[in-house]
Chains A and B, each alone.
Chain A
C-alpha cells in the first residue's frame, strides 16, 4: 500500500552542522510530497512541498527535491540552529481519488545542541 518511510531518530547535531533527514515513499501515480515540522506542544506547520518530479521545495534554509526515480524526498539544511529542534514529518498526498488524506512517515526528532 501507499506509505512513507523516514529515517529513525533521534538525530542529534551540533549548531551549524549539516542536516539530512531521509524520506522515501511508495505510492501509485504522482503524489504531492510535503515536509511538516512540529514543535513541542504545537500542531504541524508546513515546512515545504513539491508537487511534481524534480521540483525543489525550500523554506527557512530547508530544501528537499522530489526524486521520482528513487522515490525520495530527503530534507536538508546547510547549517542548523538550536531553534530547529523539533519533530519533522514527511508526508504524501495521492493524485488519484480526490482525497484530502495525507499519509505520514513516523517522524524524526531533531535535537540541536549549542
Chain B
C-alpha cells in the first residue's frame, strides 16, 4: 500500500506571496491532519479534515487554510507569507474513526520564505 505523499518537497517563496501544498493520503484514509515543524516551536497542529470537512483547528492565524477533496486528498494554503512561516509542513493520514487510530506521516514539504 502506498504511503502518504506530499508535493512539492521543497519550496522557496518571498514574503507576501502565497503558497499551496498538497497531500495525498493512504488509500482508504478519510482523515488528513497538517502540522508545522520548526526548531523553535517544535511540532504544532494546524488543522484536520475528515470527509471534506474541517474537524479541528489549531492556533494559527487565518492566513493558514486548507481543504479536502472527495478523494481525500488535501491542500493547505498560506497567504501573505512571513519569514516565520519557514518550516517543514507535515501531513498525516488516518482512518479518522477513533482516537486510537494511528496517523501516518508523509515526508513533508520544506518551505523557505525569503
Binding site for B on A (CB under 8 A): 31-32, 34, 36, 42-46, 49, 51, 89, 91, 93-95, 97-107
Is the beta-carbon distance between B55 and A99 smaller than 8 angstroms?
A: yes
Which residues of the partner chain A approach B90 to less than 8 Å between Cβ atoms? 43-44
The answer, yes or no, to whether B70 is at the interface (CB within 8 Å) is no
Q: Is the contact region of chain A dominated by helix, strand, or loop, or is it mixed?
A: loop
State whether the Cβ of B66 lies closer than 8 Å to any Cβ in chain A.
no
Q: What residues make up the interface of B, taking CB atoms closer than 8 Å to A? A: 4, 6, 31, 33, 35, 42-43, 45, 48, 50, 55-56, 58, 90, 92, 94, 96, 99-108
Interface of B is mostly: strand
Cβ-defined contact, A100 with B31, below 8 A: yes
B105 near A101: Cβ-Cβ < 8 Å? no
In the assembly, what is the distance between CA of A36 and CA of B108, in Å?
15
